[in-house]
Amino acid sequence: MSLSFSSFLPPVPPPYISSRTSPHLHPISPSAAAAAPPSPRRHWKQGEFPGTTSIPDTARRRVPLKTIKKKLDRRENAKAWANTVTESLSDSIANKQWQRAIDVFQMLKQQPFYQPKEGTYMKLLVLLGKSLQPALAHQLFDEMLEQGIPPTPELYTALLAAYCRSNLIERAFSILEDMKSLPHCQPDVFTYSTLLKSCVDSSRFDLVDQIYLDMDQRLISPNTVTQNIVLGAYGKAGLYDQMEKALSSMLVNPNSKPDVWTMNIILAVFGNKGHIQLMEKWYEKFRDYGIEPETRTFNILIGAYGKARRYDKMSSVMEYMRKMEIPWTSSTYNNVIEAFADVGDAKNMEYTFDQMRAERMKADSKTFSCLVEGYAKAGVFHKVISTVQLAARLDIAKNTAFYNAVLSACGKAGDLLEMERVYERMKEEKCEANGRTYEVMIEAYRKEGMNDKVYYLEQEMQANGKASSG
């Protein structure tokens, strides 16, 4: 059976076209404060008048109008150029175009109106850090010091964060030591939080206690955000004893009281691991502590119950949300669709999706990935094709998970030629393959005894540094 998924995928857009969305739950509208224009400079005291001096006749000659116009034009052009360059720099930073931002900044520094500003350097340091350019960030930091801008804890923390994002933890610790040696640049809770996040993300749990000890010696108390970062990392690594120890310290520390994010982290850790009883136990504990659940809390519960196939409890949570007038979200529907997709229950999955659309809820990549997987598991391959078509019509972003679902459907249908076409399309769209991608394709080839294809993919997987998700 030929599925022809690749023909339904939209054409690859040119690299300069991008679609941007800004989903956020709690929008904040900052008030704009307009600065008053500076008062004109006085050359004499108030109440006095400038003295008059005799002007020689030779100096009374009128300046030609065209000369004045040229001067005014030059002045306006200079202002326009200044605005153009500074706006271009702001746009490059906003669009995360680090190379362009640096090029524009070099042009800006050559202009006579340029004045070094701490804010500009801070934005560029953050951008270079996020763009994994720590060496360039350090070079920019040194240049800033040469320009006479004094360092601050915030600027140093931005430099430290640049090394943390590139997983250069030893260099980040050296920046921390530099900060300690400067009286006006002492590390604060944000510095340590940045360092802690980098350590736990890299599973360097051996350094966590060292950082906490350093903070304690400097009388810096970790805040709730810091503790939540560590809690989540311990939970993902399965270090439940350390997680409970960190949680216990939060309960006795007034500066790091647990909040709803703490609750969500703990529930998600146990829910994702299938520890339903522990999840329910901690849910009650947090409620007793006075923490009220939010929409995301209920979505975590729904997802956990769905994966455990506890559909009765999943339905109960959804009914409770309706009763308490807590709106269902796309995540709510996605969790339910995923629960039915996991067992190939195409009928209930389709019913949930129809209800989602009836409520004008926006579907996303996860919605369609689950639908494709669910229909493929149920063996309803004509529905897989119509789902891919619908995703194309709705301009749904095609991410790695979506392509993996389509590749898996091709494999289940035994259409390896189409699977290869979809994989090529995935590469064209520069959608990075992961361990699951290779696992799906290798399994399909192995089933057909195509050992040469299996060998090729295993070599490619090894070259790309990917590990199988299985």
pLDDT (0 to 100) of residue 168:
95
Distance CA 105, CA 87 (A): 11
What is the model's pLDDT at position 246? 87
Between CA 203 and CA 95 the distance in angstroms is 31
First to last CA, the chain: 27
SS3 237: coil
Asked which of 144, 171, 187 is the last residue of a domain, the reply is 187
CB count in 10 Å sphere of residue 267: 25
b/e for 139-162, b at 16 or more Cβ within 10 A? ebbeebeeeebebebebbbbbbbb
Residue 434 falls inside a structural domain: yes
Distances in whole angstroms, Cα of residue 250 to Cα of each of 117, 188, 247, 415 = 39, 19, 5, 54
Q: Is 182 helix (H, G, I), strand (E, B) or coil?
A: coil
Give 282: exposed, middle or buried? Use CB within 10 Å, 0-12, 13-18, 19+.
buried
- What is the distance between the alpha carbons of residues 118 and 107, in angstroms, rounded to a whole number? 18
Structure tokens at 144: 């800033």
User: Read out DSSP for 289-318?
Assistant: TTPPP-HHHHHHHHHHHHHTT-HHHHHHHH
Count helices and strands in the chain by DSSP H and E runs: 22, 0
Closest CA to 405 of 356, 314, 337, 325: 337
**Domain's final residue, options 172, 187, 202:** 187
CA atoms of 321 and 233, how far apart (whole Å)? 29
> How far is 398 from 384, CA to CA, in rounded Å?
15
Domain membership flag for residue 391:
no
Which DSSP state fits 7? G
- CA distance readout (Å), 161 to 139, 166, 199: 15, 9, 12
Comparing CA positions, the residue from 279, 261, 277, 259 lying closest to residue 269 is 279
- Do residues 429 and 398 lie in contact, with contact meaning Cβ atoms separated by under 8 Å? yes
The verdict on residue 179 lying in a domain is yes
Residue 154 within any structural domain of the chain: yes
Sequence-ordered alpha helix ranges (H) in 343-380? 346-358, 365-378
pLDDT score recorded for residue 83: 54
Helix/strand/coil for 467: coil
What's the pTM value of the predicted model, to 2 decimals?
A: 0.71
* Residue 426 counted as domain residue: yes
pLDDT tens per residue across span 168-209:
999 999 999 999 999 999 999 999 999 999 999 888 998 998
Give the domain extent around 183. Answer: 79-187
Q: Is residue 467 part of a domain?
A: yes
Q: Looking at the domain assignment, is residue 462 inside a domain?
A: yes
Query: Amino acid identity of 419?
Result: M
* DSSP type of residue 442: H
Q: Is 89 exposed, middle or buried (0-12, 13-18, 19+ CB in 10 A)?
A: buried
C-alpha distances (whole Å) from 189 to each of 224, 253, 426 are 11, 15, 42
SS3 content of the chain, % helix, strand, coil (to 5): 65, 0, 35
Question: How many domains are contained in the chain?
Answer: 2
End residue of a domain, out of 161, 187, 213: 187
Q: Using the structure block, give the residue that is written with the tokens 């195409």.
A: 346
Q: Is the CB of residue 341 less than 8 Å from the CB of residue 349?
A: yes
For residue 151, being part of any structural domain is answered with yes
* Conformational region of residue 344, where left means phi above 0, alpha means psi within -120 to 50, and beta covers everything else: left
CA dist 446 and 96 (Å) reads 42
CATH code of the domain containing 94: 1.25.40.10
| CA–CA separation, 424 and 407 (whole Å) | 11
Alpha-carbon gap, residue 128 to 115, rounded angstroms = 21
- On whether the CB atoms of residues 301 and 279 are closer than 8 A, the answer is yes
At 144 the pLDDT is 93
Q: For residue 469, what pLDDT is reported?
A: 57
Which segments of the chain have a pLDDT < 50? 12-60, 62-63, 65-66, 68-70, 72-73, 75-76, 78-82, 470
Structure tokens belonging to residue 348: 């209930």
Q: Which helix (H) or strand (E) holds 405?
A: helix 400-413
